[in-house]
Amino acid sequence: MNETVQKLLAPSKGILAADGTNGIVKRFEAVGLTFTPELDKKYKELLFKTNGLENYISGVILNDANIKAGLGEILKRKGIEVGIKVDGGLEIFNDTDEQITKGLEDLAERLVDYKRLGAVFTKWRAVYKISDIYPSDGLIEESLSRMAVYAKMVQDCGLVPIVEPEVLLEGNHTNTRCEEITTKVVKRLFEVSREKNVDLSSLILKASMVIPGNKSGVIVMPLEVSNSTLRTLQNSVPSEVQGIVFLSGGQTADSATFNLNEITKLNLGKKFGSWDLTFSFERALQEGVLSAWVGKDENILKAQEVFLDRLQKVCLARQGEL
Ligand code: 13P
pLDDT > 70 in the chain, percent: 100
In angstroms, how far is CA 260 from the centroid of its own chain?
13
In angstroms, how far is CA 32 from the centroid of its own chain?
26
Q: What's the chain's average pLDDT?
A: 97
Residues 202/162, Cβ–Cβ less than 8 Å? no
Parallel, antiparallel or unpaired: strands 99-101 and 90-92: antiparallel
Q: What is the pTM of this model?
A: 0.97
What's the average model confidence in pLDDT over 302-322? Answer: 98
How many Cβ atoms sit within 10 Å of the Cβ of residue 61? 28
Instruction: Measure 132 CA to ligand 1 centroid, in angstroms.
Output: 25
Residues 157/109, Cβ–Cβ less than 8 Å? no
Instruction: Measure 247 CA to ligand 1 centroid, in angstroms.
Output: 5
Q: Does 134 score more than 90 pLDDT?
A: yes
Q: Does 5 score more than 90 pLDDT?
A: yes
CA distance 49 to 129: 36
* pLDDT, tens only, 250-279: 999 999 999 999 999 999 988 899 999 999
* pLDDT, tens only, 22-38: 899 999 999 999 999 99
What's the average model confidence in pLDDT over 73-94? Answer: 98
Q: Name the residue of 121, 150, 170, 247 to mutate for ligand 1: max ligand atoms within 8 A of Cβ.
A: 247
Catalytic residue flag (residue 206): yes
The identity of residue 145, as a single letter, is: S
* pLDDT, tens only, 214-233: 999 999 999 999 999 999 99
Q: How would residue 286 be classed by pLDDT, with cut points 50, 70 and 90?
A: very high
